[in-house]
Structure 1
Amino acid sequence: MGLLSAHQPVRPQWTCTACGAPWPCRTRKRQLIEEFRGARISLLLYLSAYLVQACADLPLTPSGLLHSRFLAWPRSAALRDEPPQ
């Protein structure tokens, strides 16, 4: 993994320390894409651990919303493993 990002979650609100947006914020998502390039399953496992913590911290937040926030975006085409060269 790379350097520690300034875009970390503030618990229990799950906002970003750097920009105040819901975490993971746009910047952190871009960083995670780079950090986990070619390892999408590892990224999903990493984010799943955060999802479990967020569910405990935000019990009134609909689970579908948290799923979208933490696990839906990594399934985008930008994170598909690059073809072998």
Structure 2
Amino acid sequence: MSPLSTQATPPFAGPKPSLPREYGEQMPHTPLRPMWFCRADGRQWPCAEARLRLRAEFADNLPGLAIYLAGMQYEATRDLYHLNPHDGPSPRELFDRFVAWGPFRKPAVAPREGFGSS
């Protein structure tokens, strides 16, 4: 372990993941911390259902969704590396899991020139 990592103070706790909200008696699709699995279906959070619900909840505030997802990625990184600092997920895996599916991603393939024009 480097001297810098032992001298740095740990970051403060960030926002609590309370979204997406649930309506009804179902188990909410919120993360179970510190493992970051979905409370409802046991998959890695955000699961497919949580992603759909988050998109619907933030339909009128896409920048807010991007900020929320980045905050959750930060919190998950903190928790997951605290649990297992030597074999945790890579930064790319966490980005893909939390942020890449969000509203401001670039398309996987660039559109062709002249596509759709007559």
Give unmatched runs, 5+ long, in structure 1.
Answer: 78-85
Structure of larger gyration radius: 2
1:57 match: 79
Alpha-carbon offset, residue 4 of structure 1: 2.4
| 1:40 corresponds to | 62
Normalised to the residue count of structure 2, the TM-score between the two structures is 0.59
TM-score scaled by length of structure 1: 0.80
Percent same amino acid at aligned positions? Answer: 33
Partner of 2:31: 9
Distance 1:26 1:63 in 2: 21
Structure 1 residue 72 and structure 2 residue 89: aligned?
A: no
- Secondary structure of the 2:35 match is coil
Could you tell me which residue of structure 2 aligns to residue 83 of structure 1?
Answer: none
Q: Which runs of 5+ in 2 are unaligned?
A: 1-18, 23-27, 82-87, 107-118
- Tell me the number of residue pairs that the alignment of Structure 1 and Structure 2 aligns: 76
Alignment RMSD: 2.0
